[in-house]
């Protein structure tokens, strides 16, 4: 078929791989924005949720966050941030996408960190404070280690979701692998091979990241498997 042969041609052309709009650059762009968004989301989600869980506050917030996070379409979030980004001078492309990705990444990390800390067995916590640990020590030496597996799972879920959703950043002008798909769609019939190329690359990246993180998760918490 035309589309498939066109896609193969595209992929076998060296120029398409290098350069500022090449495959390598766009792949890195997608990974980079994901890393930034992950870091920011983690900085927001984890300390807050760990502290709240430790203090046993607002358990319903965690549940509400997940439900709402799932109900709000990521497409909508990206597009909604866009006008604000323009108005406040952050331009298009990187920042609206990044902010949107942070918003998307916070709920799974928050919820899993919260669940991890709050599901630490009560008697373990009581035993620890019983032998004279301060509140802070209980958190650091008992609750955090025990909740590590769940925490890591939350980070992994957030990471995979963020990398996947970064694809949509192409719609608001962020130059990543999604751009192949979006600009290909805009060009109609002639853009079909490009759409396929973009789709294959994005799928490969998403699956690759998932696989990588899966191995990482197993390596870090072998006792869980």
Note the residues at the interface with another protein (CB under 8 A). Answer: 1, 3-4, 67-68, 70-77, 79-80, 82-83, 160, 164-165, 167-168, 171-172, 178, 181-182, 184-185, 192, 195-196, 198-200, 202-203, 206-207, 210
Distances (CA, A) of 89 to 62, 85, 97, 99, 172: 33, 6, 14, 14, 15
Smallest distance, another protein to C-beta of residue 86, A: 8
Smallest distance, another protein to C-beta of residue 33, A: 14
Nearer to another protein, 5 or 134 (CB): 5
Nearer to another protein, 3 or 221 (CB): 3
Smallest distance, another protein to C-beta of residue 73, A: 4
Smallest distance, another protein to C-beta of residue 29, A: 15
HEC readout, the chain = CHHHHHHHHHHHCHHHCCCCCCHHHHHHHHHHHHHHHHHHHHHHHHHHHHHHHHCCCCHHHHHHHHHHHHHCCHHHHHHHHHHHHHHCCCCCCHHHHHHHHHHHHHHHHHHHHHHHHHCCCHHHHHHHHHCCCCHHHHHHHHHHHHHHHHHHHHHHHHHHHHHHHHHHHHHHCCCCCHHHHHHHHHCHHHHHHHHHHHHHHHHHHHHHHHHHHHHHHHHHCHHHC
Contacts of 221 (CB under 8 A, 6+ apart): 148, 149, 152
Smallest distance, another protein to C-beta of residue 22, A: 19
Nearer to another protein, 19 or 83 (CB): 83
Nearer to another protein, 43 or 68 (CB): 68
Tokens 């942070």 -> residue: 102
Tokens, residue 109: 């990390």
Smallest distance, another protein to C-beta of residue 93, A: 14
Nearer to another protein, 110 or 180 (CB): 180
Smallest distance, another protein to C-beta of residue 165, A: 7
Nearer to another protein, 109 or 139 (CB): 109
Nearer to another protein, 40 or 80 (CB): 80
């Amino acid at each position: 078929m035309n589309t498939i042969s066109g896609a193969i041609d595209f992929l076998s052309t060296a120029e398409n791989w290098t350069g500022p709009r090449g495959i390598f650059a766009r792949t890195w762009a997608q990974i980079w924005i994901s890393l930034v968004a992950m870091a920011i989301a983690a900085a927001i989600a984890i300390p807050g949720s760990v502290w709240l869980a430790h203090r046993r506050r607002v358990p319903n917030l965690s549940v509400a966050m997940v439900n709402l996070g799932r109900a709000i379409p990521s497409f909508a979030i990206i597009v909604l941030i866009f006008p604000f980004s323009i108005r406040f001078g952050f331009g298009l492309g990187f920042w609206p996408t990044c902010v949107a990705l942070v918003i998307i990444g916070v709920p799974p990390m928050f919820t899993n960190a919260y669940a991890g800390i709050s599901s630490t067995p009560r008697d373990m916590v009581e035993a620890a404070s019983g032998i004279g640990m301060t509140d802070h020590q209980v958190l650091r030496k008992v609750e955090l280690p025990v909740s590590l597996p769940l925490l890591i799972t939350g980070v992994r879920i957030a990471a995979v979701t963020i990398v996947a959703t970064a694809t949509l950043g192409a719609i608001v002008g962020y130059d990543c692998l999604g751009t192949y798909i979006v600009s290909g769609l805009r060009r109609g019939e002639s853009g079909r091979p490009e759409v396929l190329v973009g789709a294959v690359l994005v799928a490969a990246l998403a699956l690759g990241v998932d696989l990588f993180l899966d191995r990482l998760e197993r390596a870090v918490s072998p006792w869980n498997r």
